[in-house]
Amino acid sequence: MADKEYNPKIVGFLCNWCSYAGADLAGSSKLKMPPAISSIRVMCSSRVDPVLIVTAFLRGADGVLVAGCHPGDCHYEKGNYYARRRFALLRKVMETLDLEPERFRLSWISASEGPRFKEVVTEFTEHIKGLGPNPVKEKTSL
């Protein structure tokens, strides 16, 4: 799948209180990062039903990032702890069925961590580039 300029499509579910603000900060600080990510603002990482992630993959996302507040810093106190469990389960399901769980990433990014947001996005984009496009795009019987 090597091509000159493969730009993966990454869907990012960012929590309103931390990671979305972190992304905003990265933007307003004019940090340079790959343009791969389409952000969706959610109120909390625990708002992201695993089904939404499966949906994104089945619709051709090459990668999905969920980002929320660091443990202990959740605006709703414990949303991210529950989210971590849910995504651990989703990963396990994807792993058992060999559905490329490595296209999914969960990271904690605070409102002040603009540089960390840039890092995560850059690193994840590189990683997804290494994996190549989501093979789901070649299927017609979904």
Partner 1 sequence: MSDPKKEGEGLKGAAFSGGKSSLETVLGFLKRTLAEGCFDALLLPVKAPGGDSFPYVLVQDKALLEDRGSPLPPIMPVQGGKAVSSLTRRGKAPRKVAALMRPCEVRATIELFKLAQVDLENIFLISIDCPGVLPVKDFAADPEKGMAAFGEVLEKWGDRKVRPVCQICHRFTAPLSDDGAGMVVDLHIGLLGIEDGEVLLIPYSPAGEEILAKLDLVPAAGGDILSAWRDRANELTKKRGEERRRAQEEMKSKVRGLNNLLETFDKCINCHNCMRVCPVCYCRLCYFDSEAVKHPPDDYLRRAGDWGSIRFLPDTILFQVGRMSHMSLSCVSCGTCEDACPMDIPVAQVFSLVADEAQEYFGYLPGRSTDEPIPLATYKEEELEEVEDAPQGASSETKEKDG
* Sequence-ordered list of residues with C-beta below 8 angstroms from that of 73, at least 6 positions apart, any chain: 18, 80, 110
How far is residue 41's CA from residue 13's CA, in Å, rounded to a whole number?
6
How much helix, strand and coil, in percent to the nearest 5, is found in the chain? Answer: 45, 15, 40
Cα distance from N-terminal residue to C-terminal residue, the chain = 22
By C-beta, is 41 or 127 nearer to partner 1?
A: 127
Taking a C-beta distance cutoff of 8 angstroms, is the pair 103, 122 a contact?
A: no
In the complex, least distance from residue 107 CB atom to partner 1, rounded to whole angstroms:
5
Q: How many residues does the chain have?
A: 142
Candidate ranges 15-23, 31-39, 91-99; the one touching partner 1 (CB under 8 A): 91-99
Task: Show the site string, 45-74: x = touches partner 1 by CB under 8 A, - = not.
Answer: ----xxx--xx--xxx----------xx--
Near partner 1 by CB under 8 A: residue from 47, 75, 84, 129: 84
Residues 92-121 that bind partner 1 (CB under 8 A): 92-102, 104-108, 120
Q: Taking CB under 8 A as the rule, does residue 6 contact partner 1?
A: no
Q: Taking CB under 8 A as the rule, does residue 28 contact partner 1?
A: no
- Tell me the two tokens of residue 27: 């933007």
Residues interacting with partner 1, by CB under 8 A?
A: 49-51, 54-55, 58-60, 71-72, 78, 81-82, 84-102, 104-108, 120, 123, 127, 135-137, 139-142
